[in-house]
């Protein structure tokens, strides 16, 4: 018996009708196999062979219209070149990929209008959900988040009454860890190089620094505080301005990019790190381990926050009736060579024992 006549569409691309005719099965049977629903082993074999023969490619648009799912998740961050967002993105992508979806990444430049426009475009349902990490949160953000027709998870600080899934850390506590670490060595003239104060992280880290030095009975010299941006060039410039007017014995930097800029500014000014000025960054990105000397840094759990945000989003996509969830990732300090004076001197090795080395390379987690 000859093959059934193939039904080709106007553009010549094979369809489920084409595959069904080639396989000699009903359209319904072919559709079930092609959509992964199943069928008898013989039917599955015939349909898969027929699909390969005719070069059938599933129509993703038609599938998304049927299922009301696109298979896409969006991530919106300020700067996709910032190592902290790279680590977050990798963790999110791993979770998203394990669900059979793909990740789209948007760089917003930290602009409120860009972020709110993205959130409002969710009404077009071009993705199944979005993870957003805004550095500024306005009433426009909150309105767009609450009104979103698709699930959204925020990585960052939101108000207690925000009815949105949220994964956060505690920047204030993170800065306090850095200050405590430096004060424990007898350092008192501790400077702070921060990002913009009109951002959520900038404001939180400024408040954390001021509270931490006050708790240690240190009268804060405002000359030791400088504000720039969360970027390398701005961090270096801010440190140069600070060094031009005062002499710190330690610097806490609001992220690792600022800290790298600070290290270079100190080197150019003839200051040794950590002998003259100890330096501690924040975020504990790959940059911290790449620098020389390696950079002490406070981890804010960027990868863990990304992983949890992705898991919350997938759960929300599966069940829109879940109550808003809020999760917090605690900060932790890893001490490396840039503030190594805080580390105890290596103990003398006992006779016959292997030599003890200073843990500069991998760091000591506080």
pLDDT digits (tens, 9 = 90+) for 104-146: 999 888 888 888 888 777 766 778 999 999 888 888 888 888 8
* Residue 100 DSSP code: T
pLDDT of residue 38: 65
pLDDT tens for each residue of 154-191? 999 887 778 899 999 999 999 999 999 999 999 999 99
70, pLDDT greater than 90: no
pLDDT bracket for residue 58 (50, 70, 90) = low
Phi/psi at 349 (nearest 5 deg)? -75, 140
Distance CA(335)–CA(296), nearest Å, equals 4
Q: Structure tokens of 192?
A: 């702070």
Q: How far from the centroid of its chain's Cα atoms is residue 258's Cα?
A: 18
| Cα end-to-end span (Å), the chain | 77
Domain ranges of the chain: 16-58, 72-169+304-329, 171-300
* Token pair 């948007």: residue: 106
Q: pTM to 2 decimals? A: 0.75
Distance CA(178)–CA(181), nearest Å, equals 5
Q: Structure tokens of 297?
A: 């840094």
Q: Do domains 72-169+304-329 and 171-300 have the same CATH topology?
A: yes
pLDDT of residue 111: 82
Q: Structure tokens of 11?
A: 């553009």
- Options 3.10.20.30, 3.40.640.10, 3.40.50.2300, 3.10.290.10; CATH for 171-300 is 3.40.50.2300
Q: Which three-class secondary structure state does DSSP give residue 288?
A: helix
pLDDT tens for each residue of 22-54? 999 998 888 878 765 567 888 888 988 998 888
pLDDT bracket for residue 347 (50, 70, 90) = very low
What architecture is domain 72-169+304-329? 3-Layer(aba) Sandwich (3.40)
306, pLDDT greater than 90: yes
Q: Which of 112, 167, 171, 170 is nearest to 142 (CA)?
A: 112
Contacts of 220 (CB under 8 A, 6+ apart): 210, 213, 214
Instruction: Output the DSSP codes for 219-238.
Output: PP-GGGEEE--SSHHHHHHH
Q: Higher-confidence residue: 39 or 209?
A: 209
């Amino acid at each position: 018996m000859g093959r059934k006549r193939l039904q080709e569409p106007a553009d010549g691309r094979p369809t489920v009708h084409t595959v069904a005719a080639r396989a000699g099965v009903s359209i319904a049977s072919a559709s079930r196999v092609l959509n992964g629903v199943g069928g008898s082993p013989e039917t599955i074999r015939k349909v898969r062979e027929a699909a390969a023969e005719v070069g059938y490619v599933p129509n993703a648009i038609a599938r998304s219209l049927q299922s009301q799912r696109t298979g896409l998740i969006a991530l919106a961050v300020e700067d996709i070149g910032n190592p902290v967002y790279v680590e977050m993105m990798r963790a999110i992508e791993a979770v998203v990929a394990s669900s059979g979806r793909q990740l789209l990444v948007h760089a917003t430049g930290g602009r409120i209008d860009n972020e709110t426009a993205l959130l409002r475009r969710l009404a077009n349902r071009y993705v199944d959900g979005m993870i957003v990490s805004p550095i500024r949160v306005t009433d426009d953000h909150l309105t767009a988040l609450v009104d979103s027709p698709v699930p959204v998870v925020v990585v960052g600080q939101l108000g207690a009454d925000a009815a949105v899934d949220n994964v956060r850390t505690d920047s204030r506590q993170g800065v306090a860890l850095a200050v405590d670490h430096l004060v424990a060595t007898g350092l008192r003239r501790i400077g702070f190089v921060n990002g913009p104060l009109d951002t959520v992280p900038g404001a939180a880290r400024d408040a954390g620094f001021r509270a931490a030095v006050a708790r240690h009975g240190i009268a804060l010299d405002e000359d030791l505080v400088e504000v720039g941006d969360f970027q390398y060039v701005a961090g270096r410039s801010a440190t140069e301005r600070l060094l031009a007017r005062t002499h710190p014995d330690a610097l806490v930097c609001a992220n690792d990019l600022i800290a790298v800029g600070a290290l270079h500014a100190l080197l150019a000014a003839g200051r040794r790190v950590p002998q003259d000025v100890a330096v501690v960054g924040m975020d504990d990105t790959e940059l911290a381990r790449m620098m020389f000397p390696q950079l002490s840094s406070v981890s804010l759990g960027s990868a863990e926050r990304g992983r949890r945000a992705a898991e919350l989003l997938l759960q929300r996509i599966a069940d829109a009736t879940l109550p808003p969830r809020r999760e917090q990732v605690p900060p932790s300090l890893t001490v490396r060579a840039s503030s190594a004076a805080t580390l105890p001197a290596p103990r003398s090795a006992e006779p016959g024992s292997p030599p003890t080395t200073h843990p500069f390379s991998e760091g000591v987690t506080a």
